Amino acid sequence: MQRGRVLDFPAGAGRLSWRPYNEGFDVAAADTETEIFVNPEIPVVHGNLDGLFH
């Protein structure tokens, strides 16, 4: 059973994304440097609060 949705922004390497993901949340992540994100199970997109999501 899915517990809810979480956005980790700015996600960095994804360290904080992992816990809610393991607890059953639907997690998405965004950061300006998506290449450093290390959780392949969690979708990550380029995001910048000074601009638009890509």
**pLDDT at residue 51 in the model:** 62
Tell me the pLDDT tens digit for each residue of 34-53: 999 999 999 999 988 886 55
Residue 4 burial by Cβ neighbours in a 10 Å radius (0-12, 13-18, 19+): exposed
Judge if pTM exceeds 0.85.
Answer: no
Find the mean pLDDT for residues 4-15: 96
Find the mean pLDDT for residues 23-40: 95
**pLDDT at residue 38 in the model:** 96
